[in-house]
């Protein structure tokens, strides 16, 4: 298995360099990883992805979002803007952070029978992110380009050609969640991950049950979906041992007629903190004044 030999060779190189213990693998850990790779390598099977049928036709919308830490502190405000022209849809999510950071992701996709991503553009910068990056994905050509600044601030570029599958879902997960059949135990799609070096991963989406919420005095329920990234091949075996396994994301969807994604919890970048995205309504000056008077 050439891919396994490549991984083992890189691990052996690390062990022989005599690096600082915090950054190098001990010989015992190296031996354990090699043992696991040899045992499990022959058992690895590809996780087959599937195209997503259009169950809910997208239109034009403008949603208002806040980005919070898990303890409820708001760190950014943003917008979710969607425009549609026949079968072509463009969706953009933008966040302006309180510390001056900026995040923007734009996706263009087709909803002609099946949801098919055409293009995706991601940009993030500022102190809230570990890496300043701009990434472009062109699905028809398979071209993925990543521009980033290294630790010394030097501008770098990675441009690769990848055979991109038809179920690629970058920037489309909030749309996908409205089209998933909640009766299915699992739905698998693909995504381009890895920064700055892009690679394909699978994302396994599974319903976890219902979560109650309220609108005023009205009691409602949302379906909690778990989105589990799956790194395939030998890298997927090694990643958990090195603490590089990406965390799961959760998205809560109000099901029924006109399903909508209400909340999500997950990282915006690899190895980033878990943040919460919530839909919010407008607060009018009169509402704010009434709230302030009640506090007094």
| 240: enclosing H helix or E strand | helix 233-241
Note whether 37 and 57 are same-domain residues: no
Q: Are strands 133-138 and 52-53 parallel, antiparallel or unpaired?
A: unpaired
Question: Stretch 197-206: mean pLDDT, rounded?
Answer: 93
Which has more pLDDT, 47 or 130?
A: 130
Per-residue pLDDT reduced to its tens digit, 58-109: 999 999 999 999 999 999 999 999 999 989 999 999 999 999 999 999 999 9
Note whether 102 and 239 are same-domain residues: yes
**Tokens for 77?**
């405000």
Note whether 151 and 210 are same-domain residues: yes
Q: Count Cβ atoms below 10 Å from residue 27 Cβ, excluding itself.
A: 10
Number of domains in the chain: 2
Note whether 36 and 59 are same-domain residues: no
Note whether 35 and 161 are same-domain residues: no
Q: Are strands 199-215 and 114-125 parallel, antiparallel or unpaired?
A: unpaired
Q: Which domain holds residue 31?
A: 2-41
Confidence at residue 243, expressed as pLDDT on a 0 to 100 scale = 55
Answer yes or no: is 47 within a domain.
no
Q: Which of 48-52, 203-207, 257-261 is least confident?
A: 48-52
Per-residue pLDDT reduced to its tens digit, 178-192: 999 888 999 999 999
Confidence category of residue 120, pLDDT binned at 50, 70, 90:
very high
Note whether 140 and 273 are same-domain residues: yes
Answer yes or no: is 289 within a domain.
no
């Amino acid at each position: 298995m050439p891919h396994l030999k490549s991984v083992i060779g890189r691990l052996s190189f690390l062990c022989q360099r005599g690096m600082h213990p915090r950054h190098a693998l001990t010989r015992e850990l190296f031996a354990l990883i090699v043992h696991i790779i040899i045992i499990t390598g022959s058992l690895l099977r590809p996780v087959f992805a599937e195209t997503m049928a259009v169950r809910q036709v997208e239109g034009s919308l403008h949603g208002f979002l806040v980005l919070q830490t898990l303890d409820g502190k708001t760190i950014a405000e943003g917008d979710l803007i969607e425009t549609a022209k026949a079968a072509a849809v463009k969706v953009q999510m933008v966040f302006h952070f309180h510390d001056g950071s900026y995040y923007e992701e734009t996706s263009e996709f087709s909803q002609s029978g099946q949801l098919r991503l055409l293009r995706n553009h991601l940009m993030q910068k500022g102190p809230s992110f570990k890496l300043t990056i701009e990434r472009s994905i062109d699905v028809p050509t398979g071209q993925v380009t990543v521009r980033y600044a290294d630790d010394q601030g030097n501008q770098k570029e990675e441009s690769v050609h990848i055979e991109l599958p038809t179920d690629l879902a970058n920037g489309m997960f909030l749309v996908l969640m409205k089209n998933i059949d909640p009766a299915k135990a699992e739905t698998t799609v693909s995504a381009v991950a890895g920064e700055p070096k892009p690679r394909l991963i699978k994302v396994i989406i599974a319903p976890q049950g219902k979560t109650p919420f309220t609108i005023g005095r009205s009691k409602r329920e949302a379906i909690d979906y778990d989105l589990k990234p799956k790194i395939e091949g030998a890298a997927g075996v090694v990643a958990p041992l090195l603490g590089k396994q990406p965390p799961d994301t959760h998205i809560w969807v109000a099901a029924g007629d006109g399903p909508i994604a209400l909340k999500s919890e997950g990282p915006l970048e690899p190895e980033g903190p878990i943040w919460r995205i919530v839909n919010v309504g407008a607060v009018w000056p009169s509402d704010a004044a009434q709230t302030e008077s009640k506090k007094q």
